[in-house]
Amino acid sequence: MLELMMQGAEPSQSRRQLLRPGENHVIGRASDASLSIPWDSLLSRRHVQLDVQPGHVQLKRVESARNPLFFAGESVESCRVEIGQHFVVGATSFYLLEAEADGSVVAAPVEEFAFKPQELRKIRYQDPENRIEVLTHLPEVIAGAANDGELFHRLVNLLLKGIVHAEAVAIVTAGGTEDIPLLHWDRRRETAGPFRPSRRLVVEALEKRRASVLHIWEKNSPKQHDQTLMQEFDWAYCTPVPGLATEPTGLYVAGRMGKTFVPGTTLSDTLQLEADVKFTELVAEIISAVVRARRFERQKAGLRQFFAPPVLAALGDELDTTLLEPSECDVTVMFCDLRGFSQRAESAAGDLIGLLERVSRALGVMTHHILEHGGVTGDFQGDATLGFWGWPFPSPDAAVHACRAALGIRAAFAKAAATKNHPLADFAMGIGIAHGRAVAGKIGTAEQVKVTVFGPVVNLASRLESMTKQLRVPIVVDEATAKIVRPRLASSEGRLRRLGRLLPYGMETPAVVSELLPPETELPELTDAHVAEYELGVDHFTEGRWDQAYRCLHGMPASDRAQDFLMQHIVLHNRTAPANWDGTIRLPNK
């Protein structure tokens, strides 16, 4: 049985095909060609007719083929190719090799050795200076690689420098059904031709033993059919690198004993090979650890978009996502909406990308403060952000953290509004905060999930955010949040003032709502005395003493828009509460 090995200009451009006498094949670039070479644009769709004979193949160039067929350095129309010979079409070389009757081209090694770490520790390097010099460049190899392909390229070159007797080095996986997939390979001599590792050795090291395995072949053995070594390598070993790729992956090193090799030599007489294996295992351990660390860091970087650092720390180094399973818990939910988006969308119809950039920047401000104060970003809904606290771990200060985040968002937008030509200067925001029972975690369908929160408290936070438009204030919180925050939020951080009892449109239960205000130092026009007077006016309003409520609210500074909402109700009824007044304002719309 024969084997045709096809090798393009790049190491990844390779293919192997077993040939049986009597078969006919067409070599070409077309996908329906029996020997398809899709990587070579110099091949015609149907380029060469190949007839398999015992011990050789007969070739004939198809008349419609554009480029010539080369054999023995000459352009030919037809030729006979025997075992060990090769021909060239375009930029691809074709090698005719001999295979065993069962299709295997890997001969059994004369000697096979599997290594244990404790055994290799006893081995001394014969050239420690060179090994150390090479290892000093390992951090540069890792840090300088922009992607996995570049990392593999750098790693192969480093091993060729560190293992002076190696003729070829490859990064291999055991995932192929016939060929051993090569992630990258290189040879010390560029003109030496293609290189394909021993499947027997790779499978033994990566799948069976999962440890470094060395094979030594008897070079002149009549049973030598390991054409994968191209009849030039008499030793090779493979060392696993856990985690380097999704499939079992290893470092494959091959070379020649030279004149010092005698058939039947024991490994104790070839200490240099043991030292080479030890060096390769050291490189594999370092690479494996660094790759795992880089992969872990990329995973954590992705999760940082959703979790505050304390939550990531709780997930642990193994990123145990069972912690994210849905669970019922007490949470504080913030719904933050961007004001002015619809109007800006109409006026910026000719520059939607620019508008998107500005909206993304605004959402970034919201997300930054949510994460900075230990919250989780649960969802983005157009120009709005949902954040929540109290999951995955319960926290008695969840409501306080939510209020601190809300005040940070308000301050950021206020600063932007006061800065000339700032991208967010003409945007404002409304924030609703509610505290209650909900289900939080991975929520969704079998096809798609997101980490978010679900329950009536989410709807309430959304309604509170809508109320900010009617109440003419930036931040509104429910009664449950206010009860938690009042005794725990320092006056130097923020203040609360009760706005009244309202029944949101479409809901059946009234809610006592409050405004979250910056401290007096940041909003000096609204003093603490003003806040106390306002809440007294709210009490009068709720109890039906609207004339007294009017006098309290009338004393607020003109810049305070919150008074307008209650004053409008009072003035419309001539400062007299209706006969059926129950203290609740029913909102006519969302």
Q: What is the pLDDT of residues 18-54, one digit of tens each?
A: 899 999 999 999 988 999 999 999 999 999 999 999 9
In this prediction, residues 218-231 reach a mean pLDDT of: 42
Q: Which pLDDT does position 311 carry in this prediction?
A: 67
Average pLDDT value for the chain: 83
Asked whether the predicted pLDDT for residue 127 surpasses 60, the reply is yes
Residue type, 400: V
Q: Residue 522 — pLDDT band, cuts 50, 70, 90?
A: very high
Residue carrying structure tokens 């809904």: 381
Structure tokens at 463: 């309604």
Lowest mean pLDDT among 97-101, 106-110, 274-278, 563-567: 106-110
Model-wide pTM > 0.85: no
Q: Which pLDDT does position 135 carry in this prediction?
A: 83
Q: Residue 497 — pLDDT band, cuts 50, 70, 90?
A: very high
Asked whether the predicted pLDDT for residue 222 surpasses 60, the reply is no
Q: What is the pLDDT of residues 233-288, one digit of tens each?
A: 788 999 999 887 778 899 999 987 753 443 444 444 456 788 888 899 988 888 88
Nearest of 457, 581, 552 to residue 511 by alpha carbon: 457
Asked whether the predicted pLDDT for residue 500 surpasses 80, the reply is yes
What is the phi-psi region of residue 428: left when phi exceeds 0, alpha when psi lies from -120 to 50, beta otherwise?
beta
Q: What is the pLDDT of residues 565-582, one digit of tens each?
A: 999 989 988 899 998 999
Q: Which pLDDT does position 590 carry in this prediction?
A: 67
All domains in the chain, ordered by first residue: 2-98 (2.60.200.20), 111-295 (3.30.450.40), 327-489 (3.30.70.1230), 520-590 (no CATH)
In this prediction, residues 120-125 reach a mean pLDDT of: 73
Residues 6+ away with beta carbon under 8 Å from 304: 312, 371
C-alpha torsion angle, residues 108, 111, 112, 118 (rounded to 10): 180
Asked whether the predicted pLDDT for residue 308 surpasses 60, the reply is yes
Strand segments, DSSP code E, in 307-398 are: 327-339, 376-381, 384-389
